[in-house]
Structure 1
Amino acid sequence: MSWDRKENGRKYYYRNRRDENGRAVKEYVGQGRRAVQAEREDQEARLQRLQVKQQWQTIFDELDDVNRPVKELVAINTLLMRAVLIVNGFYLHRGHEWRRRR
């Protein structure tokens, strides 16, 4: 969304959007009252999207706090599993496959 000034000195308002093929397209809105109203609508929509994004981020942060002990338990379990495999004669082949030493 932007105001573009042309060679004649006038300002015109354009919206950026995606067409059916996913390409970015500038859509001419106009000038004057109509353009100012469209700019206000675009700003309100942008603000609303930002508020929704912040709400979702808050939810994700809370879930991350809840899942932190589980992640720590998984990390400890993985470390313990590796130790048991190494003690029993296994090694990590190419960094992703456990094999028994001969």
Structure 2
Amino acid sequence: MAAEREKMYECEVRRRRVKVGGGYEPFWKVKNVAVAMSDSDTEFRCKDCQGEVKILGRTGKPGTVPYVEHKSAIDAEFCSGGMVFQKATDGREARVSERPVR
């Protein structure tokens, strides 16, 4: 039996906007992973714990939808959006990643 995979279809992408005094400032925007891929975004993080994620399922085969998974198992265990956290029965508390993407 194949292991069930964590699949999250939304993440945050780094964008930039014009500052009031001139120049640009970075900010994070929640996006659907498929939309972010079509927009050619390059910097991603988990929308719930701000941890590193990897993009999977982007082969372009019919029926496949791009998604993200946590790179760190610790982040997956304590992220409120992660499958491992949601299935846990030990009363753990959700938290921000120990190494958040800034």
Q: Is TM more than 0.5 here?
A: no
The structure with higher relative contact order (CA 8 Å, sep 6+) is 2
If each structure's helix is expressed as a fraction of its own residues, which one has the higher value?
Answer: 1
- Shorter-chain TM-score tier: under 0.3
TM-score scaled by structure 2? Answer: 0.21
TM-score scaled by structure 1? Answer: 0.21
